[in-house]
Structure 1
Amino acid sequence: MRKLALAAAFAATLISGPAFAEYPEKTVNLILPFNAGGESDVSARFQQPYFEKITGQQMVIQYMAGAGGAQAWSQLNSMEGDGYTLMGINLPHTVLQPMEKDVGYETDDLVAVNYFHYTPNALFVPKDSEFQNLQQLIDYAKANPGVVTFSGSGSNSANQIGQTQFDELAGITTTYIPFSGTGPAVTAILGSQVTAGFNYVTSGVNNGDGMRMLAVASEERVKAFPDVPTFKELGFDLVGGAYRGIAVPKSTPEDVRKKLSDIISKINQNPEFIKKMEDAGFVLTNVPYGKMADFVAQKKKEYRAIGEKLGIANR
């Protein structure tokens, strides 16, 4: 029995150690929990050639859309943890969804190895709007409580969080109108169906001719829009948006998690990749696996507080 136990321990060592020394050794599959064409897809497509250049292996992108990402995230830990099945992961989605109801996973069930960018919230108005700057919009909202309408990409999204925080910081009351995604939320702004919109700054890249950005919720001005002030510059401590990263099944070995995180961080340092992302309105971050626990804990605390204000802290 002792010999069998030693043999099993030796086999386990081979599986978790040298077997992954040259990871990856074959094609890696990246599952995105949303449809093609969104911000998650665009950034993954930007990553793809650099992943292949660094590793010598292909990264194949697949889609598993549904329930705002929950359909995929609820299945992640049932997938094989061999390092060859990856999944896109988003904040605040993976904090707010399980807060509101049973979605088949809990925030702490998910193993993120790297958050590599976020798309800041931005406040847009139609191009022909009477509001030329943020203060004009605030003054109008104060004089007309509830009249100003904001479109956004769904309920309990980063966009609604932005609107909720803005109302509190500016001392105003506005009305949030959720749409089924970024596309229809932007269409509502372009068609002047709403007063304004909280959307991701990336929306301004392809729709800049039809709407005007009054402020962006980033620490510094976004390079794609150098003339647009940040909320901080205008006196409002509002920074946030949707963070995107890479997750793996919980059974994935620690050394593979770290190796994958290092690969993603290395891509983030590539000058060509940086330019592509910044030109598209993305803001690069570098939250590697070693810093993930603290980062997620901080975001959970932040989003849970906001979730209570949104009235979704039911669990």
Structure 2
Amino acid sequence: MVLSFIGVLALPAWADYPEKSVRIVVGFTPGGGPDIIARHLAQELGAMWKQQVIVENRPGAGGSLGAAAVARAAPDGYTLLSVSSAHAAAPAIYSKLPYETKELTGITLTGVSKYVLVVSPSLGITSLQQLLRTVREKPGRFNFSSAGVGSGTHFAAEILKARAKIDVVHVPFKGIPEALSETVTGRVQFFMAPIANAVGPVKDGRLLPLAVSSRERDALLPQVPTVAEAGVPDYESTLWFGLLTSAAVPRAIVDKVSADVGKVLSSSTTRERWQPIGIEPRPTTPAAFDQLLAEEIRVFTEIARGANIRAE
């Protein structure tokens, strides 16, 4: 009896995790990929854990305000962070972040997707080649929208700008909905929009898709060529999403959350829900996601230096 009682006392603190509600912070406005993924995970993990999982949007500074909140949170695994590719861009464009990258650790990659270059039908341009030709005839007079300086949508367009050798002006907005809206009206000429957000306006005719950012065409828009097919060789830009937490959280908790999220991502429910918006579930180990983050930060830093992209 004594040995049995001692054994109960010796159970690690994470054995019954989670014992209370869990918070998933999103550093962007509602409606974008990190938010869509966080809300799906909240629903599925809540059912699995028998605990409430709350999504909290804390937009600002390219997602770094939300990241800082998670880095400063109690390192108990009850505060998670849903991010997109923009998380790797932040260290590349901000001279000083409100957190250090080493203060956060990866839990898992959650999904991958792509961008689609869209224009307003009123622009009168129906192909990427026509857009590039028109832009080259009028250097500096065309502009493109983004979900903010340093966002994935910004970098996807900057890579196109560099590869295609075009002179276009960046117009950043607060988030994806605003960037889409300004493109629909034609006040901004084009937008490298996440396919999850673009497919609706494309299918109802408010936007015209010219190319997708991936190496291969997408099943959602099979008639739309890749940017490389449409005339910009070697172009590729992948949109990815992931989950992080404080680096001080015990490894056993990180591993448990990673395994449980992996179960959600591997389910047919997730695949069926995300397929119509062009997001492919892609679970990884924490170590694999950390490795991806380090490589993406390196790549974005090179792009930012070449294009002189700074948030200040």
TM-score (normalizing by structure 1): 0.86
**Aligned pair in 2 of structure 1 residues 74, 45: CA closer, same or farther (>3 Å)?**
closer
Q: Counterpart of 2:220?
A: 224
Q: Counterpart of 2:302?
A: 305
Residue range with higher mean Cα deviation, 267-276 or 87-96: 87-96
**Aligned pair in 2 of structure 1 residues 115, 231: CA closer, same or farther (>3 Å)?**
same
Q: Counterpart of 1:60?
A: 54
Q: Distance in 1 between matches of 2:88 and 2:299?
A: 13
Aligned residues, how many? 303
**Aligned pair in 2 of structure 1 residues 246, 81: CA closer, same or farther (>3 Å)?**
same
TM-score (normalizing by structure 2): 0.86
> Structure 1 unaligned runs (5+)?
1-9
| Residue 259 of structure 2 corresponds to residue 259 of structure 1 | no
Q: Distance in 2 between matches of 1:133 and 1:288?
A: 40
Question: In angstroms, what is the RMSD of aligned CA positions?
Answer: 2.6
Q: Distance in 2 between matches of 1:97 and 1:31?
A: 19
Residue range with higher mean Cα deviation, 117-126 or 92-101: 92-101
Equivalent position SS for 2:236: coil
| Residue 268 of structure 2 corresponds to residue 271 of structure 1 | yes
Q: Distance in 2 between matches of 1:82 and 1:268?
A: 23
Q: Deviations over 1:65-115 (max 9, x none)?
A: 333322222232321122222122333334435642222112232212112
Give the C-alpha shift of residue 219 in structure 1: 3.6
Q: Deviations over 1:138-196 (max 9, x none)?
A: 22223332233212222222222112211222232222222222122111111111222
> Structure 2 unaligned runs (5+)?
1-5
Give the C-alpha shift of residue 245 in structure 1: 1.7
Q: Deviations over 1:183-223 (max 9, x none)?
A: 22111111111222222222223322201111111243333
Q: Distance in 2 between matches of 1:177 and 1:78?
A: 32
Q: Counterpart of 1:284?
A: 281
Given the alignment, which residue of 292, 297, 300 partners 1:295?
292
**Aligned pair in 2 of structure 1 residues 283, 270: CA closer, same or farther (>3 Å)?**
same
What does 1:1-315 correspond to in 2, within 5 Å?
A: 14=10, 18-97=12-91, 99-208=93-202, 209-234=205-230, 235-312=232-309
Q: Distance in 2 between matches of 1:143 and 1:91?
A: 32
Q: Distance in 1 between matches of 2:95 and 2:67?
A: 14
Confirm or deny: 8 A CA contact 2:88 2:300 kept in the other structure. no
% identity of equivalent residues: 23
Confirm or deny: 8 A CA contact 2:106 2:287 kept in the other structure. no
Letter in 2 for 1:272: T
Q: Distance in 2 between matches of 1:132 and 1:211?
A: 11
Confirm or deny: 8 A CA contact 1:304 1:313 kept in the other structure. no
